[in-house]
Structure 1
Amino acid sequence: MTTNRSTLFSLTLVASFVLSACGGGGSSDTSAPQPTPPPVAQPAPAPPVEPEAPAEPEAPAEPEAPAEPEAPAEPEAPVEPEAPAEVLTGIFVDSAVQGLSFKTASQDGLTNADGEFTYVEGESVTFSIGDIVFPEVNAREMMSPLDIFDVDDVNDIRVSNMARLLQTLDLDGIPGNGITITDDAHNQANGVTVNFGADNFDEQVNDVVANAGANKTNLITASEAISHLNVTLGNMQANSRDCNAETPKKGYTGELTSFAYEVAGTVTVVDNCTLEVTMFTYVDGGAPNVQFYTGENLNFETTNAFGFGPQLEGRTLRNETIRLQLPAGKTVDDFDSVSVWCIDFNVDFGSTVLRAPI
């Protein structure tokens, strides 16, 4: 308690001292004039704010032009389809062969009565009888067994064996009037494969030949087959000559009268330089230099007489069809008679006079 009081006294004393030092207290003189404080400068009035010009009204937005409609797309030009490849016609001959199967990349079927088949340029073709398949080769306008084996020798064993088979399977056994391969022949050849160059070729096809329903039931000889094939090839060559000149004798015909060697057949004028002999038969009797020969009124020893066509000596032909081309510069107007003539001995083995059909 004593301490608090001492503290209070001390504080009072200090306060009194401070007041007297500063002139404070009731004895101060307050009548002396006080200096006037300088006037406070007033800030200049701010200039009046110009009112903002009213904003120009925005021009109304131009309406957007309607979008031009897109032009319709040009229709694409239609794609022109490729022109189909041209289908060509070829002929298979050993005489015209009918009923032979053929197949190319785009075509297939059976050859018709004229031996015709179809193909497209550049294709290969395969001919067959049942499962007896011949080698594939390039298709062409005119084809024979020579083309199948790509040779030019009729004595090639493959060529002669093919010719033997085709001619033996001919329905009527007369290849000279065309060869017809029947459905029976195709059926008999199912499951059969053949090597045309084999020594046992005959054995490979004997059953087919015996049961095909054709006129002949045994393979013909190679010499018979080659003889007929040579006639066919000669006809092909004759047909390749362009000789279409008109003649009043077109269609004239005559039957050969036989004097020797079983000569027979019908001779017909085809055009101005071509004769055709159908169902022609000649059985070789050993005579040399035998050929068709021209004459006048059955006289074949005139100075104007001439030979033409294939050499017949050493050949036996039965029921063949032969096309005969006259030599260059000769026409059917140069003669009226035809003979199978032995040139070396001037002997007529069979002859006829060509007359207009009745």
Structure 2
Amino acid sequence: MHTKTIALAVSLLLLTSCGGGGSSDNPPAPSSTNNPSPPPEPPPSTPTASTGVFIDSTVSGIAYQTPTYSGLTNNAGEYNYLPGETVTFSVGGIVFGSTAAGPVVTPLSLVSGSTDPTDPVVSNIVRLLLTLDDDGDASNGISISSATSTAATGVSVDFAAADLAADPGVSTLLASLPGSPMLVDAATAQSHFANTLATSWGTMKWGTGSWQAATP
């Protein structure tokens, strides 16, 4: 009886020893090379700038600002913008107005709801631009010099004023410029601007009692 007990114990030990060396049923962990990382996303493309022009004749040297671009209009009156942006034009501290940036911007664009170059606010904008022209000859374009921009620093103008010549900002600025130029009168400004819109650029035409975009 004692001998059988010993034999049974030895048999159990041998079975346990053989079972411990068996292989696992779990599959091997996957190699990292079987799951490569996704490629990095390409950087966002840079939007392409559009070019617009500011005209009352071409206006060069006037400051412009959009959310993306800023600077001075070039000799052709051109500025840069991205579609959908708003652009603001100024000389020193004098803000002429803001509007949706586009291929062509005029003083009409800067006065909300205005369609007529005889609009008093539009007329006042044109009057001051003509007055600030460096050579006083708008037929070859309007050029705003750096000296004029510097003189206008800290100056503000109310273009809705009934008497623009009496506006403190206008009188102070003109007195500080060489030769103390006189403010161009409203009739001259309106005639010039209407002629620019109707002939020089052909961007506007008179129709149904208002100035409208000309059809190509």
Band the TM-score falls in, shorter-chain normalisation: 0.7 to 0.9
Per-residue CA shift, 1:184-241, capped at 9, x if unaligned? 1111212211111112311221232243348x7111111111121112102365379x
Whether the 8 Å contact between 1:135 and 1:148 is mirrored in structure 2 is yes
AA paired with 1:51?
K
AA paired with 1:70?
S
Whether the 8 Å contact between 1:185 and 1:213 is mirrored in structure 2 is no
Larger Rg, first or second structure (1 or 2): 1
Per-residue CA shift, 1:61-102, capped at 9, x if unaligned? 135699446324422321222222231111000011000011
AA paired with 1:196?
F
- Identical residues among aligned pairs (%): 34
Look up the SS of the partner of 2:71 in the other structure. Answer: strand
Match of 1:206 among 171, 180, 190: 171
> Counterpart in 2 of 1:221?
185
> Counterpart in 1 of 2:39?
77
Alpha-carbon distance in structure 2 between the residues aligned to 1:138 and 1:239 = 16
**1 or 2, which has the higher helix percentage?**
2
Are residues 1:127 and 2:89 paired? yes
Range moving further from structure 2, 72-81 or 91-100: 72-81
Whether the 8 Å contact between 2:197 and 2:203 is mirrored in structure 1 is no
Cα RMSD (Å): 2.6
AA paired with 1:138?
A
> Counterpart in 2 of 1:51?
4
Look up the SS of the partner of 2:148 in the other structure. Answer: helix
Alignment gaps of 5+ in structure 1: 1-47, 241-358
Alpha-carbon distance in structure 2 between the residues aligned to 1:134 and 1:238 = 23
**1 or 2, which has the higher strand percentage?**
1
Whether the 8 Å contact between 2:66 and 2:86 is mirrored in structure 1 is yes
State the 4+ residue runs in structure 1 displaced beyond 4 angstroms. 63-69
Are residues 1:99 and 2:61 paired? yes
- After TM superposition, the structure 1 = structure 2 runs for residues 27-176 of structure 1, keeping only pairs within 5 Å, are 51-52=4-5, 53-54=7-8, 55-56=10-11, 57-58=14-15, 59=18, 61-62=21-22, 67-68=28-29, 70-72=31-33, 73-150=35-112, 151-176=114-139
Per-residue CA shift, 1:118-153, capped at 9, x if unaligned? 111111111111111122221111011111113111
Whether the 8 Å contact between 1:211 and 1:217 is mirrored in structure 2 is no
Alpha-carbon distance in structure 2 between the residues aligned to 1:189 and 1:49 = 120
Q: Across the two proteins, how many residue pairs are aligned to each other?
A: 193
AA paired with 2:31?
E
Per-residue CA shift, 1:154-192, capped at 9, x if unaligned? 111111111111111111111110110011111121221
Structure 1 pair 186–157 and aligned structure 2 pair: CA distance change class (3 A): same
Structure 1 pair 139–237 and aligned structure 2 pair: CA distance change class (3 A): same
TM-score by length of 2: 0.79
Look up the SS of the partner of 1:134 in the other structure. Answer: strand
Whether the 8 Å contact between 1:184 and 1:213 is mirrored in structure 2 is no
Look up the SS of the partner of 1:136 in the other structure. Answer: strand
